[in-house]
Structure 1
Amino acid sequence: RIEFDEEKTSVIDHHNYDVSDPGQHTLIVAESQNLLKAPTIVGKSTLNPILFRGVGMVADPDNPLVLDILTGSSTSYSFFPDKAITQYPHAVGKNTLLIAGLQARNNARVVFSGSLDFFSDAFFNSAVQKASPGSARYSKTGNYELAVALSRWVFKEEGVLRVGAVAHHRVGETQPPTAYTITDLVEYSIVIEKLSEGKWVPFDGDDIQLEFVRIDPFVRTFLKKNGGKYSVQFKLPDVYGVFQFKVDYNRLGYTHLYSTTQVSVRPLQHTQYER
């Protein structure tokens, strides 16, 4: 889960605030190094510093679905800016989330921002410079580029995959048999496409794996890109039963891709044994 801090609290950072901050050190300058390492979600990583003024969040570290998109620096914390600190703050250091995201198991996406000002024209067009001596001045913040990248991701214009045609057959044949025989040499292929600028184009990935599963995987191998599809040849195990060709591809920033195809593998017929 994601928890917002109490009403009227703010993220405070006495080391990373903007020169135009009125004095409470709540106009935070967040460096692009604090962004999630996922270009599909946040765009290019060489953004100008980001301006943020708002409430902090904390996330459950054990929830794999929550994404820490933008964190505070190690000197940030969340508290009431006009009160003395009398208790341990809700969020401290890198645990202070400024922007968080979540992709559910059904691939639904949502982004939480603790700052409305983050999306304002004033912050999009503002110059940014840390108040600390010798800090570089930037004529524009990275807010606009980050907001565009986040909106493209959350509205599923970016990072969306789908499965196209799936085919399997014995090597040298073109059609799948009614049943395979143990130790057959088999070829499997799958088309994987990515949504780009509103069109489906071939996806380019070098870490897609195929599993041949009967309860547990008997074969696990990488798929090689072959034109617009991914394919591999492998030898079936010396075990008969009902198996599945399974592709289960789950990568940061992309929708969860899952494809299974069930096949039967039978033992050798009496006439196929060596005599």
Structure 2
Amino acid sequence: MTTMPSKLSALLFYFLFIASVYSCSKDTSILTNSETETAQEQENETEEETTEENSPESTACTDPLDYIFNEKEGLVFVEFENAEFSEDWKLKQDGYLHTGTGYMIWEGSQNLSNPGTGTATFKIKIANTGVYQFIWYSAVRTGNSGTDHNDTWLRFADADDFYGQNNNGSSTVYPKGTGKTPNPEGASSDGWFKIYRSGNDLDFKWQSSTFDNNAHNIFVQFANPGIYLMEISARSSGHGIDKFVLFNDSMTKDAAISSIAPSVISCD
């Protein structure tokens, strides 16, 4: 016959055993959840590190001299103010047709025959090689004539070719000083083209031409992937420039100038 103390001891042992099993199960669940959270955190950190390493903007760019504008899918789109300018170039924000933080305008002396004053440089990184057309978005901000205060010098000295061509392709011209001919009528020197806009609609519009009274569009050839230098130099005071594009034959002019997202800027 089992005594009462023996029954109580057996019952107590049973409850202690059940409590022990439950406690171990709970601890295992907590440990498993903790390990899962830790693994997830490590995975997220790895993903963030990978994203940062692969992002072309992973390094903060604070000096315009270090900016590199990255071509993507045949397009380079740059806000003109994103460069280092001399003090006679001024950032303006009047009007409503410009984009970005404003537009740049030359307020120094005229340099109608001698490029090299008030220069600024843009580093262009090309991945998709070939021929690109160049156009900028500019305005006449001084006077009321479409043929005055309407131009700025442009040069691509390290590109494989830099030339002007008329609309039907029957005439091609090269900057003076490059050893290539023929050269355009009008000002040109040391590889620089005078790039003008025309017409009496003086506000901002997309147009870039060379060759006086015989407008030739502007083209640049990049034979190899890499970083190329685009240089501008002050010519006419009162010529305001807001932005520019370079685009290859994978897209139309209308598609290029309708772009709203500027090229990604990475650092040198």
Same fold by TM-score greater than 0.5: no
Name the structure, 1 or 2, with higher relative contact order (CA <8 Å, separation 6+): 2
TM tier relative to shorter chain: under 0.3
Larger radius of gyration: 2
TM-score (normalised: structure 2): 0.21
Q: Name the one with the larger strand percent.
A: 1
TM-score (normalised: structure 1): 0.20
